[in-house]
Structure 1
Amino acid sequence: MTLVSIANNNPLIDGRQSARAMLVRRGLQILLNDMRHAALPELVLANGRRADLITISEKGEIWIIEIKTSIEDFRVDRKWPDYRAYCDRLFFATHKDVPLEIFPGDCGLLLSDGYGAHLMRDAPDHRLPPATRKSVMLNFSRVAAQRLTMAEWATGKSFDEI
């Protein structure tokens, strides 16, 4: 009984993400699901930046994971420090063809192959202020619920047809 379709008109696969980035994201999502994190891709934050992947753990810890698929991708994108204000832990994620030493040591590091991912380096903990935590949680919850509704409506089926 499928209620959700990810096929046509998916706003989370809008052409800005490369096939390699989608592969990395898929592996991360598998690992994070196993870790019992709720993960939401492409969430726009209060500062207008868009997090590649934001997660909430069972304990309410908020992680942001920035996906980088090449050395050049990392070099040209200098907005990642702006994500720190919206998470308890900040990570980079990549694949085997990117040298891991290019990533800053004060961020966590994940390595993905599309079928899973490995935590190569944990991220330091910098707890969010309560007001920011509440704001991020509300944004996460509202966007996740809206996306679920849109995905359900995109099936074009009523509950009688399922």
Structure 2
Amino acid sequence: MALVRTADLAPDGRQSETALMIRRGVGRLLRGLGYAYLPELTLASGRRADMVAVGLKGDIWIVEIKSSLEDFRADSKWPDYHSHCDRLFFATHPGVDAGIFPEEAGLILSDGYGAEIVRDCGEDRLAGATRKAVMLRFAQAAANRLHELADPRLAGTVTEIGDD
């Protein structure tokens, strides 16, 4: 069994104010496109994606937030996200040079009030078993977070889920 720590809906101190601003704008964009998202979702690889979104047809996007050039340079884990999503995007704000982001990923610009996809990316469809594993992880995390709202004493507990 893999162990997954349920996350609080509130920021946990790891995210900068700029990253939270970017996330808010991207969240509004995703919702407008018909996607539901979860922030800070731990994947089967043990990596934690900044945002995982699920569309009405079951497509899965990962959005990796980068608030600065230094933030991007310090991150070498993003290529691993390709194996957990159909489409991978970076999200940033207009003050970051868009040219630093790799062409194989899409790019979203956010001002905190909204966001825009400024570079789309190709789709690489997940295998059925992988899609099911990501969807189960997403669903369980969403249900646990909702339960924690109803019963705050549960926040931060560890929950077992099946091997992916």
Alignment TM class, shorter chain as reference: 0.7 to 0.9
Q: Between Structure 1 and Structure 2, whose CA radius of gyration is higher? A: 1
Q: Check whether the contact 1:108–1:121 (CA below 8 A) recurs between aligned residues.
A: yes
Deviation of 1:124 (Å): 1.1
Cα deviation, 1:67-109, whole Å, max 9, x if unaligned, reads 0000010011010001000000000000011000000011000
Q: Aligned-pair RMSD on alpha carbons?
A: 1.4
- After superposing on structure 2, the runs of 4+ consecutive aligned residues of structure 1 that deviate more than 6 Å are none
Q: How far off its partner does 1:153 sit?
A: 2.0
Structure 2 residue aligned with 1:65: 63
**In the alignment, what sits opposite 1:79?**
77
Aligned positions of 1:27-66 closer than 5 A: 27-66=25-64
Bigger mean CA deviation after superposition, 109-118 or 9-18:
9-18
- For the 8 Å contact 1:12–1:42, the answer to whether it is kept is no
| AA of the residue aligned to 2:44 | A
2 CA distance for matches of 1:105 and 1:37? 23
- Structure 2: give runs of 5+ residues left out of the alignment: 1-6, 154-164
Aligned counterpart, 1:130: 128
* Larger strand fraction of residues: 2
Asked which structure has the greater RCO (Cα within 8 Å, sep 6+), the reply is 2
TM-score of the two chains, using structure 1 as the length reference? 0.88
Identity of counterpart residues, as a percentage?
A: 54
Cα distance between partner residues in 2 of 1:84 and 1:12: 27
On the 8 A contact 2:8/2:145 being kept in 1, the answer is no
Give SS of 1:96's match: coil
Name the amino acid aligned to 1:138. Answer: L
Rounded Cα–Cα distance in structure 2 between residues aligned with 1:84 and 1:151: 31
Which residue identity lines up with residue 90 of structure 1 in the other structure? L
Q: Distance in 2 between matches of 1:99 and 1:112?
A: 13
Mapped contact 1:12–1:41 kept (Cα < 8 A): no
The DSSP-based 3-state class of the residue aligned with 2:121 is: coil
Shift of 1:152: 2.0
Deviation at 1:151, TM superposition (A): 1.2
Q: Deviations over 1:4-53 (max 9, x none)?
A: xxxxx945411000000000000001111111101000000000000000
Gaps (5+ residues) in structure 1? 1-8, 156-162
Q: Which of 14, 17, 40 is equivalent to 2:15?
A: 17
One-letter amino acid of the structure 2 residue matched with residue 140 of structure 1? F
The 8 Å contact of residues 107 and 117 in structure 2, kept in 1 or not, is answered as: yes
